[in-house]
Amino acid sequence: MASALETIEEHRSHGGVQGVYRHASRSTATEMIFSVFVPEHEEGVALPVLWFLSGLTCTHANVTEKGEYRAACAEHGVIFVAPDTSPRGEDVPDHEAYDFGQGAGFYVDATEAPWAGHFHMRSYIEHELPALIGAHFPADMQRQAITGHSMGGHGALTIGLRNPGRFRSISAFSPIVSPLNCPWGDKALGGYLGSDRGIWREYDACALIEDGARVENLLVDQGTADNFLEEQLKTELLARACDAAEISAEIRMQEGYDHSYYFISSFLAEHVGWHARHLRS
């Protein structure tokens, strides 16, 4: 049963409504905040849903304020949902590093103390929040797509690959494609899940593909000037995994773009249109 929803703010934009909402989450045992843009539509019409998962240190606000997606969502009739990246609050464990703890949930269900009590972002994104969106918004939950940036690109890829048939298309900006093979992954998955790297495989896009997961419609944009590309993101590993599995992925190296929202906002409207084509089919 979906929980009650509190409206924090709503604004008219591009003919639709951009809102920010709060609810008490069972998954994280905290209050969670997320944003939703609902385009103008006829009464009784259910619209497809595009999820955007944000990266390290971000909240819902980063893409909501910087993403430049609303005009495209209004044009194509797509609801845009932007969750937070982790549970938050005074009683929630945290870490002094920017890439672990609050703001860095990595879209996993933590099993290690002290994180296991609250850090269940996998369950929150895969189950709890979709039920809430379906109950409170004019959403057609049979037509969903997912995208994300950096840590959120990792989330979009792994959630999409683990849930075949739920998402008609998956895209990502500068994703962490293989946490098994980068320092961010070592810290996050080791801290949240423990030392058994076999368990980590269900949170690694390349490993999921190697283990048989498949996707029909995949688009990845990666900037060539991204300072995290070689050490953390390693886009070439995803390209190799897709080639080996004969997945027809569109992986684009965008010349001169970095890891920032200047990059995301340059291509996010294009991603919305790409997802919309698959959501209409």
Q: Checking phi first, is residue 178 left (phi over 0); if not, alpha (psi -120 to 50) or beta?
A: beta
Residue 186 annotated as catalytic? no
Query: Of 154, 259, 271, 275, which one is the catalytic site residue?
Result: 259
Cα–Cα distance for residue pair 58/32, rounded to 1 Å: 14
Structure confidence by residue, pLDDT tens digits, 148-163: 999 999 999 999 999 9
Is residue 68 in some structural domain? yes
Cα–Cα distance for residue pair 2/263, rounded to 1 Å: 35
Residue 259 annotated as catalytic? yes
Is residue 91 in some structural domain? yes
Cα–Cα distance for residue pair 268/162, rounded to 1 Å: 24
* Nearest alpha-carbon partner for 173 in 145, 149, 204: 149
Residues 228, 231, 234, 237: what is their CA dihedral angle, to the nearest 10 degrees? -170
Question: Which whole-number Å values give the CA distances from 188 to 75, 105, 178, 244, in the listed order?
Answer: 38, 8, 12, 27
* Residue 59: CATH number of its domain: 3.40.50.1820
Cα–Cα distance for residue pair 126/145, rounded to 1 Å: 12
Is residue 1 in some structural domain? no
User: 76, 69 in Cβ contact below 8 A?
Assistant: no
Is residue 247 in some structural domain? yes
Cα–Cα distance for residue pair 209/244, rounded to 1 Å: 9
Query: Of 25, 150, 174, 178, which one is the catalytic site residue?
Result: 150
Residue 150 annotated as catalytic? yes
Residue found by looking up tokens 């000037």 in the block: 225
Is residue 203 in some structural domain? yes
Is residue 213 in some structural domain? yes
The strand ranges marked E within the chain are 6-13, 16-24, 31-38, 47-53, 79-83, 139-148, 167-173, 218-223, 250-254
pLDDT at 2: 64
Tell me how many domains the chain contains. Answer: 1
Is residue 269 in some structural domain? yes
Query: Of 25, 120, 226, 278, which one is the catalytic site residue?
Result: 226
Residues lower than pLDDT 50 in the chain: none
Question: Which whole-number Å values give the CA distances from 60 to 4, 10, 32, 80, in the listed order?
Answer: 19, 14, 10, 11
Cα–Cα distance for residue pair 7/157, rounded to 1 Å: 30
Residue numbers of the domain that contains 227: 6-280
User: 179, 204 in Cβ contact below 8 A?
Assistant: yes
Is residue 179 in some structural domain? yes
pLDDT at 251: 98
The secondary element (H helix, E strand) that includes residue 197 is helix 197-200
Question: Which whole-number Å values give the CA distances from 45 to 40, 129, 145, 156, in the listed order?
Answer: 10, 21, 18, 26
For residue 107, which amino acid is it? Y
pLDDT at 3: 73
pLDDT at 168: 98
